[in-house]
Every structure is written in C-alpha cells, then in structure tokens.
Structure 1
C-alpha cells in the first residue's frame, strides 16, 4: 500500500532496507490489529507481556484471540517462560514492546533480546514488535535479530501530533500478503491525505525535527518526575513521557488512583495493563506529556504528599 515515495520514507523511519516491506494503516493501533489478525486466527494464542498496552487487550478480546502472559523479570520477558508457554499449547505469535515498554518504561537489554530471538526462531513463532515509543530511545529493532519472522509496527502520532494518525508496518516477504489482506479486511487502511502529508513531512525533515524536540522534552519531564518523586520506587527511561510507580505499602493502586482523582489528577492503576487477573501490581502509570511543566511539578508534588500520608489519611481528607 502507499506510493513508492511513501514506502521509501517509511522504510527509512522503520530502519528496514526494503521499501517493499512497508505497509500502512490508519493509525498505530490499527497497525497492531492488522499484524495480529494476519498471524493469529480467532481462538489462537498470542504471547504477551504480563503488563501490556490496554488497547491490545481490548483488540484481542474483540477478535477472539487468547492472550497468554509470558512471565518476565527485571530484564523483560523470560525466554524459558516463552518456551514453556509454547510447549503447553502452540503460540501463533508473540506481541512485545522491547523498547520503552508501556507502562514500565523498560528497554530489553541486548543479551535478553538475543535469547528471545533465539527462542522464537527455534519455535518458529513470529513476533509483532511494537516500536511506537522507540523514537525516544536509541536501541535498534529486535527485528534485526529475527528478520524473517518479525512484523514491526510503529506510528506517527507520538512523534508528530495526535492529528497525524498514520500507522506503519514492515513485514518479511512471506507475511506481507497476509498483513495486507488483514488491513484491507479490517478497513484499517490510511486516508490519502494522511499518507501524502506524512510522506512530505518525512521527506523534508519535519518529522525528524519534531521527534528530536520531543526527545528533549521527554528527558526534561522524566527528570522532573524523578526529582519530585525522589525516595519512591519510580522507574522511567532516560527519555520518557510516562513513568511507573510501585506504590508504598499499604496503598493499593485503585485506591491511590481514586484519591488522586479527588485531587483532580489522573493516574492509571496497574490492573489496566495486567494480562493475568492474579498478577495485578500495586503500581500506577503516570502520564507526563500533557501538562505545562509548572502544572506537572505541582501535580507530582501533590501525588508525593498523597503517597506519604497513606490511604487512611487520604480517605479522611
């Protein structure tokens, strides 16, 4: 799909050498939908991280795909857990966010990436690699280690603005036909306007300039969050528009989110991301992208105070 110029610019963005590998969707979410639908039939099993993008959870429920959580540690999904899940019942594919994982901010280190690629290759299981936040990091695609089995998905809305909703995919030759068919069947193809605008902005450097500015802003906001939440178990990538906060006892994530809401602050409890109901973390995701810096600082200070006071004091007001 798309013009030769669009595919050429898309290939450069995705870090692939063959422009013919590039396909387009209406947005990043629909790019994920097209990739998953191409690989996993209704009733099929898709390996996912224990915490994953909530939109993917909803997508899998709609298309009847079974999410299979792959146990993880501080380095990301465990290869032995992946192999065991596939032995129990075959996985049709695996969906991962190895770079700037949402919600934890983790980037899987090189040794773990290599082990995951080796495990997937041995099992002959394809990978959907979601790189929607990768422009804030420097790591190359995991697909470089598993080129014949990986569909890369990405989008422009995070890099540019929510108004430019173009999804991009790069698929190996044997999977391009199924992905293209899934995108057509789901009516997930882009508008001509979005494709033309994106091609022009990619070619003239606008997208790169906006992404560079966002990298600087993300670093500043992340530093502000770690400063204002010092002393708490908060993790965030060096450049990130969100952070992951493991709450101090006795807080529960839902109670903290409710108390924050009463202060006019929105945080997302860990259960929203959990793919296994018995593995809900006492943690919340904080979005850092939208408020002006001064407003963000005040909100972070209020959350820190709330966490220190504890749920009983917060409930009493």
Structure 2
C-alpha cells in the first residue's frame, strides 16, 4: 500500500509540474480519489497532504483541493526570479536609512584605531562577554525589561536564540502553542526539533485565549510562542489585560512562554513585555535585524535564571560564541545612541509607508499596525492567493502568500506585503499597481 500511495503522489506531482494538470484545476474529492485508486480514505488524504507539503496543491474547506499556480512567489524560501523585469520586492523587508553606509564606515574606522582591536579576534564565550551583555541589559531597560547582565545572553541573530531556547526547554514530541498565523522561522525550528505545532485561532486584536486555555487543558503544552507587540504578520499589539490573561494561563498550565520582541521597537509606547509580567517562565528574544540591518546577525535573549546554563550550553553546541567583530559593532551602536536614533527613523518611515498603503488599499481588506513595515491584505473570497501572487509576478512584483505564515492545514487567501524595501518615492505607484492587479483579476 505504501508503494501504491507513493506512486500516486509521484504521478500527480509529475503531471502538475509538466503542465498536464494546469493551475486552478480542482482535483477529485478524497473519497473519489480513494475509489479511483482503490485505496483507503486516510491514504487518499495522505496523498493530498504530501502534494500540499510540496507546494503543488492547496485545500480549501468546503470547496476542494486545487492545483496551485507555480509562478507565484510564496513560502519561506520564495523564488527570486520573475518572468518580467522586477519592479518591486514586497516579499522581504530590507529597511536601510540613507546615512547607514557612512555610519558603518565611521564605526569600522573607530574600531580599527581602538586600543583593544585584538580582542575582536579572540574567541568569545558562549552567551557573550560580561561587558557587552551589560550594554544590552541597559538597552533592554527601554523595553521595560530590568534584569542583571548575567541574565542576558548574546546570539548570532534571533533565530539562533530561538533555537537555543527550544534546545534547552523541549524534547521531541512536545506540543508548542502558536498563533494560527505566525513567524515562519519558528515553524522551521519546531520541525527541526520534532515538535508538534498546535495553532491558536486569532481575531483582529489577538489570539483567542479561551481556545488557548482549552488547548492547554486538553494537551500537555510545553511552551507558548507569542509575538505580543507588532505581531508578524497581523500587526496587533496586545493590551495589558490580554498579556496578563496569557500569563495566567501559562502559570496555571505550567507552560513556558517564548516572547519574540524583534518588531517591538516599532510600537513607540507598548504595554510592558510579557517577560516583565512573568520573568520566572518567559524567554524574551530579539535582535538588531529590523531596527539596524538584516545582515547584522546580532541577537539576544533573556532567560529565567534556572535555565541560563542550559541556554549557554545550547549556544556553545551550535556556534560556540558570537562574532567578536559584529558584537563590537552592535554594542558600540547601542552604547553611543545610534540604535535609538535608527529606531526613531524606522518608526517615522514605517508610519509614512503605512499611510501610503492605506491610501492604495482603501477599497480592499487591509490590516496593519500604524507604524509597522508590513501589512496583511485579505483577498476577495473568489480569489486564491497563489493566483494573485502569480499575476503580480507577471507585472514584476514579488509578494508572499499566507501559506508561509500559517500553522494550520488551510491558509487563508491573503498576502503579506513587506513595505520597507521599495524606495519611498516609488511605493505609492507599486502599491497602486498591486491594488489594480488584484482588482482586475478574473474571478
């Protein structure tokens, strides 16, 4: 039976890839597929599940299973090629301020003439040196996090920090609660650690905490991954009572909390971080990728005291220590106020870009935080996200579909639009083109 089911998957995949089954084709129902190939209904479901995992089909509740348009640009690793010259990349944020190149040159010159240049060539201890950890601890005070430097650990970006947290706190098979739409990189880490993702339904203002409590009552949830401030991709910032309810559930059900604060700087006056409300069970993770530069692989995390050594061991196992050169640059910019100035620049820039986006999508269902670098564009019910991505690719615009962010089996038909990469004077034209393309698509 295994060989038979695999051969069915292979035949479908080949037919879809060579165009014999064109994009948009509605495939047989699970029962019809089972009857046609004389296989069990569960096996037929497995066939479609594998095709969906390959990105070849998409299931829509109540409508059926459809062949995806492969010309679209979606997923965690989208194709960067387009059928026409590229106009804009709305699939990935690369915010840069005009003065950053000169800032980098100045910082490198300063570093080259410092009296302790040799130190950047030495192996850094796992978690970073005490001086740099103290600088980051001071930086975190502005986030509402007050911890001693020993509780702050440095990493090569937020992704490594998240990986270290999962290594220290979970075992294969553990259940992790996440929002139904969430940061794609966390799902990759969960799969690498053989963890089970349990999605939490979400509304316009945040996760359904009653559903989370029911999940924790029914399943042994090991940890809750949350982005409470400027949620990626939906843009919400949870209010103080909602954060307190989340903490109460985690305490009652004895679950860890993993708080991702990477985009938190974009909200000028958010409530206290979850870490400040529950320091005994919250791992706070952030980086300088969005407020300074994506290529600056510098992250940090705050761990409950009982887990500090386990996190250090995890960091040692993966890369031993952080880069001395990157750490010197990053902590130097934190200490001299460059990071704070760049964050203000980013917030102002993002606010202007969101105003442009709201004007361009005034006739569409668009949701975003007022000062974030991304927005969520829900498509009309008779449009599929892969089709929209394909049509936009045909006019030179890269986007990301909801599939990349979905922790559920069925992703909504929506696009996540990254607004930071196009030049500000070109953004209105680009987004108007997106709006016109979506509006003109055949239903």
Give me the whole-angstrom Cα distance separating, in 2, the residues matched to 1:152 and 1:69.
20
Q: Which residue of 2 aligns with 1:19?
A: 149
Q: 1:8 aligns with which of 134, 138, 142?
A: 134
Matched, 1:197 2:323: no
Alpha-carbon deviation of 1:288?
0.2
Alpha-carbon deviation of 1:76?
1.4
Q: 2:415 aligns with which of 264, 269, 284?
A: 284
Give me the whole-angstrom Cα distance separating, in 2, the residues matched to 1:254 and 1:189.
41
Does the Cα contact within 8 Å between 2:217 and 2:253 map onto a contact in 1?
no
Matched, 1:218 2:321: no
- Where do 5+ consecutive residues of structure 2 fail to align? 1-126
Alpha-carbon deviation of 1:188?
6.6
Q: Which residue of 2 aligns with 1:300?
A: 431
Does the Cα contact within 8 Å between 2:224 and 2:256 map onto a contact in 1?
yes
User: Hey, which bits of structure 1, 4+ residues long, moved more than 3 A?
Assistant: none
Matched, 1:182 2:333: no
Does the Cα contact within 8 Å between 1:11 and 1:22 map onto a contact in 2?
yes
Alpha-carbon deviation of 1:18?
1.6
Give me the whole-angstrom Cα distance separating, in 1, the residues matched to 2:204 and 2:435.
25
Does the Cα contact within 8 Å between 1:9 and 1:203 map onto a contact in 2?
yes
Give me the whole-angstrom Cα distance separating, in 2, the residues matched to 1:272 and 1:32.
18
Give me the whole-angstrom Cα distance separating, in 2, the residues matched to 1:181 and 1:78.
35
- Where do 5+ consecutive residues of structure 1 fail to align? 313-317
Larger Rg: 1 or 2?
2
Alpha-carbon deviation of 1:36?
1.9
Give the total of aligned pairs: 311
Alpha-carbon deviation of 1:72?
2.2
Matched, 1:33 2:163: yes
Give me the whole-angstrom Cα distance separating, in 1, the residues matched to 2:205 and 2:246.
11
Does the Cα contact within 8 Å between 2:166 and 2:193 map onto a contact in 1?
no
Alpha-carbon deviation of 1:291?
0.6
Q: Which residue of 1 aligns with 2:252?
A: 122
* Equivalent position SS for 1:6: helix
Give me the whole-angstrom Cα distance separating, in 2, the residues matched to 1:93 and 1:177.
19
Alpha-carbon deviation of 1:75?
2.7
RMSD: 1.4
Alpha-carbon deviation of 1:51?
0.7
- Greater RCO, 1 or 2 (C-alpha within 8 Å, sep 6+): 2
* Equivalent position SS for 1:230: coil
* Equivalent position SS for 1:111: helix
Q: Which residue of 1 aligns with 2:302?
A: 170
Alpha-carbon deviation of 1:124?
1.4
Q: 1:71 aligns with which of 201, 222, 238?
A: 201
1:39-188 pair list within 5 angstroms:
39-137=169-267, 138-139=269-270, 140-187=272-319
Does the Cα contact within 8 Å between 1:79 and 1:115 map onto a contact in 2?
yes
* Equivalent position SS for 2:398: coil
Q: Which residue of 2 aligns with 1:315?
A: none
